[in-house]
Amino acid sequence: LGSQDGPADGAIILDLNEDPMNPSLAGFFDSYYLHDGMARGDTLWGSAIYEGLLVAIDVSDKSNPVIIGSTQTSCSFTHNAWVSDDGNYVFTTDEQQDCNIGAYDVSNVSDIQQTDFIQSWNNENSPVIPHNTHVRGDYLFTSYYTSGVTVVDASDPYNLIEIAYYDTSPNYD
């Protein structure tokens, strides 16, 4: 993912089945530049950062990926997307000052709906900028530039609750 100025300005899809050490080219996605993404099954969840979109892409035919759903994220600068274990929700970050972790119901991929968003505790002397969020069970683990790392209880994606944080940037308040 994150291919720019290469054979595609979006995502390069590689086939690792025959020879994982020497993958072959299986296809391209080039409708948008995808800064980050996660594939589960035949769906690629892409972060089209410059469009501010979470994009669901059907990659069952690797040579012909098709957008099957998309939605604007809360700060319109979609940096990262990670799907829940049950596949019904996707969580995103927008990599800009004072932005959020977003939760989206993707059970109907053609009608993606935001369910909630949360912003971490705020440093008074530096901006809160989320970087990446990842799912483990019912929890989101999110890194921030100067605010450290947070743990959010996402067991109810309609009510995200920060339950822990650790400041990894002691030089900031």
At 81, list the tokens.
Answer: 């997307």
Give the pLDDT band (50/70/90) at residue 167: confident
Whole-prediction pTM: 0.90
Q: What is the pLDDT of residues 4-20, one digit of tens each?
A: 555 567 888 889 999 99
Distance CA 148, CA 125 (A): 14
pLDDT for residue 128: 81
Partners of 29 in the beta sheet? 11
Measured between alpha carbons, how far is 58 from 56 in angstroms, rounded to an integer? 7
Cα separation, 72 vs 29, whole angstroms: 19
Which two three-digit tokens encode residue 109? Answer: 């991929």
